[in-house]
Structure 1
Amino acid sequence: MNVSTRMSAALRGVAVASITVIALAGCSGNSDSAAESTAAADSLLPAAEGKTVYPLTVDTATGPAVIEERPERVVMASSWDADLFAALGVTPVGTDEQIDFYPWAVEKIPGEIETVWPIGDTAYPAEQVANTTPDLVVDTLAADPVDTEQLADIAPVVGAPAGIEAPLWEDRLRLLGEALDLSDRAEQFIDEYGTTFENIRAEHPEFEGKTVDYLVYWGGGSGTGFMNTIDSEPEALLTSFGFAENTNAAVLPQDGELSDELLGTLTGDVLVISNQAADQAEFDAWYSSPLLQRLPSVQEGRTVILNLAADNTVTYDGERQDFTGHFGRAWSVGPLAHEELADLLVPKLSAVLT
């Protein structure tokens, strides 16, 4: 196996899926309908664990979700939750077209998604969500009840965990696990994830006590982002590799926007840069600026520069990497993405520190 704050819906391209309908022979009747319903439920969700008691009221940032009985048809209102559905072995009945940004999750979702809708101007296409006839709608990053108001008229809505300003994927997975009576499965996955990264830390003692600055250079006049801010998913991922917390992050803008004047204040032992500029000459000019070149991480060759193309391919030192999917989102989307990033990044981080 190859080892998040909510973003705009416009940021959330298509894996068109279909569902195979199996015609059952025999007489029609209540028993046949019940059998068909059970088969459909079994194909979309793993067996219930019997831990969640329904009716269940789930407190979320978009308001309480009252779930009368165990859901069978669950809409993943934002494909940002793909890792969570995959981790639990749940097949959503519908989601948005950007699901193909997360191939590591798609390959682990056990069934085919019935409906995939295009990204539009609204947060969620209520009509297309309704057409999936869901009994639960999920977006574990949704924090504004206004955004989900129309969805709540269709089915109960599970938004972000209540009372957590920046929920990590573990918080979101536990919430979804409880709603679907899959809490044990959620905890087992969290434990397995922990073991994977415990092994990484044991294999790479050179990371201990070192810090990382993770920047994104967007190009085209859009500036630079400092991504591993305090309590962020990128910072949690880097510390799970075994790096120390970047205490300098406390004095940097927490919105991620990093002015050129602040480049010289970076203190990380390693500098990781995601170059998303369409014009390589533009990036080269920025990277050669005195503010960056004076950083110890740059002067001592402790830099990892990954170049991202518009088709989401990643190159390093001129060589295409074995990474498919949306690299930028992988830092925040969830645990399966983190395992993919570990495969990509850990060897490179180790190489610049040894």
Structure 2
Amino acid sequence: MNRLARPLARRSAARTLIAAVACATLLAGCGGAADDKGTETKPKSGDAAAAAFPVSLTNAWGTTKVDKKPLKVATVSDGDTDIALALGIVPVITPDAEDGGPVPEYKQRAITKLGAGKLKTYDDTDGTDFEAIAAEAPDVILGMNTWSMETEYAKLAPIAPVVTYTDKKHADTLTWQERLRNAAKALGMKDEAEKVIAANEKATADAAAAHPEFKGKTYTYAVVHPEQLTFMSYADQDPGVFEQLGLRKTDKAKNYTADKNSVSLENLDQLDADVLLMTYPFGDNGLLSASELESNKVFQSLGAVKGKHYAVIPSENTLSSAVAYPDALSAPWVVEKLTPILAKAVAGR
């Protein structure tokens, strides 16, 4: 998703303060929404390894036609940049998702591997810079991860074919696998996309196999937002990386939904589980600090806390953001960083 506009985004707190409504893809990994299938021209040969061109894809605002295999790709969101990098493409221009700050570790790894040095970016403080994108004369523009397409499509389409979702609601509901696959159709890289998905699934499966102690342990994942403490692992939340690694939601999750997910300080017992995971992505702008919560007597009485089965998922290294909004590039890194945190929490260390 477009991390420019969500609570766990890799942005400054001033630009990310948003009501704590969990989107359908929070924690999402491999399950969930219906595929965003477009109308695609059939390959002219039996070689399914590469899409034939031209390719036509239906989107929510019309039809995107890509006449030949794109060489120059522009992106309009951080998630779209990650799609390009995961497929081995260095975008000709991207939004500056880090506001000039350090690039997340998993992204820097990909950039270094591709020998790209530093990505060319535009300042997106005031939104998409259409002139900067047009100046790069891209062959296609990736917009699979943005909520701004309804207002931006008409401005982007004259620049280059726009690769985006077929239904406006898919801005929220598509999994990262579906976004990757749809982008790959327009790029003639369907096989490459499947290899990325398979590698990510293997990384998760290998981590789960290495930690059989995770299997069946209940968990609660809670986030301290500016206006509330949010029960993020509610019952209807799509299974994500925690469950892919073997954990399962606590029975208390049935008491919460996307629209009813606030936990009062008087009801902190609702957080208890075999493993309690917290994150504080807003720092000083959060409802309360880690020290304030951890000094609360009700919180201290929780079985998970007393048994040391409690852990904080860091936000400084963008892990909490990547857990919330996984994509083709960040997913294996999330598993790499999250697994030792879970291992300590499960063991009570």
Q: Is the 8 A contact 1:213 1:268 kept in 2?
A: yes
Whole-angstrom distance in 2 between the partners of 1:160 and 1:232:
22
Q: Does 1:178 align with 2:185?
A: yes
- Amino acid in the other structure paired with 1:8: A
Q: Does 1:132 align with 2:136?
A: yes
Residue 231 of structure 1 deviates from its aligned partner by 6.8
- Structure 1 pair 262/140, CA: closer, same or farther in 2 (3 Å)? farther
SS at match of 1:145: helix
- Structure 1 pair 245/185, CA: closer, same or farther in 2 (3 Å)? farther
Partner of 2:84: 85
Residue 106 of structure 1 deviates from its aligned partner by 3.3
SS at match of 1:336: coil
Q: Work out the percentage of aligned pairs sharing the same amino acid.
A: 24
Q: Is the 8 A contact 1:225 1:256 kept in 2?
A: no
- Amino acid in the other structure paired with 2:330: A
Q: Does 1:210 align with 2:217?
A: yes
Q: How is 1:2-41 mapped onto 2 (pairs within 5 angstroms)?
A: 4=1, 8=5
Which of 275, 278, 285 does residue 284 from structure 2 map onto? 278
Which of 298, 305, 327 does residue 305 from structure 2 map onto? 298
Residue 246 of structure 1 deviates from its aligned partner by 5.2
Greater C-alpha Rg: 1
Partner of 2:39: none
RMSD: 3.2
Whole-angstrom distance in 2 between the partners of 1:95 and 1:5:
12
More deviation, 134-143/278-287: 278-287
Partner of 1:198: 205
The superposition leaves residues 251-304 of structure 1 with CA deviations (integer Å, 9 ceiling, x where unpaired) of 324158523255432353211112343399843222333443343322322101
Whole-angstrom distance in 1 between the partners of 2:273 and 2:173:
23
Partner of 2:335: 342
Give the TM-score, by structure 2 length. 0.74
Q: Is the 8 A contact 2:73 2:139 kept in 1?
A: yes
Residue 199 of structure 1 deviates from its aligned partner by 1.2
Residue 152 of structure 1 deviates from its aligned partner by 1.5
- Amino acid in the other structure paired with 1:330: A
- Structure 1 pair 53/257, CA: closer, same or farther in 2 (3 Å)? same
Whole-angstrom distance in 2 between the partners of 1:61 and 1:247:
38
Structure 2: gaps of 5 or more residues: 12-46
Residue 153 of structure 1 deviates from its aligned partner by 2.1
Give the TM-score, by structure 1 length. 0.73
- Structure 1 pair 142/257, CA: closer, same or farther in 2 (3 Å)? same
Whole-angstrom distance in 2 between the partners of 1:60 and 1:249:
36
Q: How is 1:306-345 mapped onto 2 (pairs within 5 angstroms)?
A: 306-308=313-315, 312=316, 325-331=317-323, 332-345=325-338
Whole-angstrom distance in 1 between the partners of 2:305 and 2:191:
45
Partner of 1:25: none
Whole-angstrom distance in 1 between the partners of 2:161 and 2:75:
12
Q: Does 1:187 align with 2:194?
A: yes
- Structure 1 pair 120/282, CA: closer, same or farther in 2 (3 Å)? closer
Whole-angstrom distance in 2 between the partners of 1:246 and 1:158:
39
The superposition leaves residues 203-260 of structure 1 with CA deviations (integer Å, 9 ceiling, x where unpaired) of 1111111232222224xx5332333456767x41112212224564443241585232
Residue 80 of structure 1 deviates from its aligned partner by 2.2
- Structure 1 pair 156/307, CA: closer, same or farther in 2 (3 Å)? closer
Q: How many residues align?
A: 298
Whole-angstrom distance in 1 between the partners of 2:140 and 2:275:
44
The superposition leaves residues 105-141 of structure 1 with CA deviations (integer Å, 9 ceiling, x where unpaired) of 233142536631112222x111111111112111212
- Amino acid in the other structure paired with 1:158: V
- Amino acid in the other structure paired with 2:327: G
SS at match of 1:59: strand
Q: Does 1:254 align with 2:258?
A: yes
